[in-house]
């Protein structure tokens, strides 16, 4: 049997962090090495397992990465810089799921990849990674003859629209067809500008109730259409992908990796 991978969870008190603590506890392929919270967190020092209701883990909420072989962080833009700096200082590979990072933070991540392995994905779902591959394959085969429309749906509280994943899928469509995404991705249709322009890629957003996240890529041809849909039902989808990424990243040379690389 292979040894369990020691994982540090950074942002351990957050929604994703807590799910990760539960998933690591339930999976013999991993062992919790550290549960990192922000400096001054009110629960600093408390047992991480007790905080999330899974019994004593022996790993207190703390500020260091311990003996981790890999770190997984979901801290958002506010915690990202500290998470990255911690991994660089300790030479620990980083899986990052933080979204809404600015250009400077993305550049820091890219620069860090010359010293440690990094895998960043704004959507850690394995299903979405596969959807991207299927979409690329379909768009290469059908070319610009197919009218591509992307429809995404999320819960009523989502701050951004269209979703980062919807836009990433649109970019992937454009690139698969040799188009410049900036010139062909269209997120509004209204008034005199409404009619579809040949080759454009539409992205539409629905916001309702507690939808976790749905993305459909529709390819319309004359007489037929193909629809590729992914539905995330709960956060565990992102946790599973993040842990698969963590396992993949251990012992890799420094560099930038993508979820897609898991199947290469």
- Give Cα separations from 114 to 47, 91, 152 (angstroms): 35, 11, 35
Q: Can 154 be counted among the known catalytic residues?
A: yes
- CA torsion sign for 251, 253, 256, 262 is negative
Residue closer to ligand NAD (CB basis): 99 or 187: 99
Is residue 74 at the binding interface for ligand NAD, with CB under 6 A as the rule?
A: yes
Degrees to nearest 5, angle at CA 167 with 163 and 18: 40
Distances (CA, A) of 77 to 28, 64, 101, 113: 31, 19, 5, 18
Candidates 5, 7, 13, 173; binder of ligand NAD (CB under 6 A) is 13
Which H or E run contains 20?
helix 15-26
Q: How far is the CB of 201 from ligand NAD (least distance, A)?
A: 22
Q: Does 99 bind ligand NAD (CB under 6 A)?
A: yes
Q: Is 210 helix (H, G, I), strand (E, B) or coil?
A: coil
Give the pair of three-digit tokens for residue 64.
Answer: 């260091």
Task: Specify the residue, 172 or 177, whose C-beta has the smaller distance to ligand NAD.
Answer: 172
Contact 14, 41 (CB under 8 A): no
Residue 159 is a catalytic residue: no
Site map for ligand NAD, 230-249, x if CB under 6 A? Answer: --------x-----------
Interaction pattern, residues 20-49, with ligand NAD; x per rule: CB under 6 A: ----------------xxx-----------
* 129, containing H or E segment: helix 126-142
Binding to ligand NAD by residue 228, rule CB under 6 A?
A: no
One of 137, 155, 158, 159 is an active-site residue; which one? 158
Interface residue with ligand NAD among 9, 35, 59, 75 (CB under 6 A) is 75
Q: How far lies 79's CA from each of 185, 200, 207, 254, in Å? A: 31, 37, 27, 22
Closer to ligand NAD at the Cβ: 219 or 237? 237
By beta-carbon proximity to ligand NAD, the closer residue of 165 and 179 is 165
Please report whether residue 220 would count as binding ligand NAD according to CB under 6 A: no
How many other C-beta atoms can be found within 10 angstroms of the C-beta atom of residue 142? 17
User: Looking at the annotation, which residues are catalytic?
Assistant: 154, 158
List residues near ligand NAD by CB under 6 A. 10-11, 13-17, 36-38, 74-76, 78-79, 82-83, 97-100, 121-124, 238
């Amino acid at each position: 049997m292979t040894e369990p991978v020691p994982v540090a969870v950074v942002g351990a008190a957050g929604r994703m962090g807590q799910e990760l603590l539960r998933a690591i506890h339930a999976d013999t392929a991993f062992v919790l090495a550290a549960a990192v919270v922000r400096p001054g967190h009110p629960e600093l020092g408390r047992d991480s397992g007790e905080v999330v209701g899974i019994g004593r883990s022996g790993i207190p909420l703390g500020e260091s990465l311990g003996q981790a072989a890999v770190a997984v962080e979901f801290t958002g833009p506010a915690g990202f810089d500290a998470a990255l700096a911690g991994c660089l200082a300790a030479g620990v590979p980083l899986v990052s799921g933080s979204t809404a990072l600015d250009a400077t933070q993305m550049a820091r991540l890219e620069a860090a990849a010359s010293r440690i392995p990094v895998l960043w994905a704004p959507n850690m779902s394995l299903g979405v990674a596969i959807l991207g591959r299927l979409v690329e394959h379909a768009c290469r085969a059908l070319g610009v003859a197919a009218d591509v429309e992307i429809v995404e749906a999320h819960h009523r509280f989502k701050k951004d629209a269209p979703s980062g994943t919807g836009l990433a899928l649109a970019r992937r469509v454009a690139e698969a067809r040799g188009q410049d995404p900036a010139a062909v991705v269209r997120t509004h249709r209204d008034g005199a500008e409404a009619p579809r322009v040949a080759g454009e890629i539409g992205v539409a957003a629905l916001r309702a109730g507690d939808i976790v996240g749905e993305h459909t890529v529709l390819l319309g041809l004359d007489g037929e259409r193909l629809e590729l849909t992914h539905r995330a039902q709960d956060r565990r989808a992102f946790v599973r992908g993040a842990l698969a990424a963590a396992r993949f990243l251990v012992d890799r040379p420094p560099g930038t990796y993508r979820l897609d690389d898991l199947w290469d």
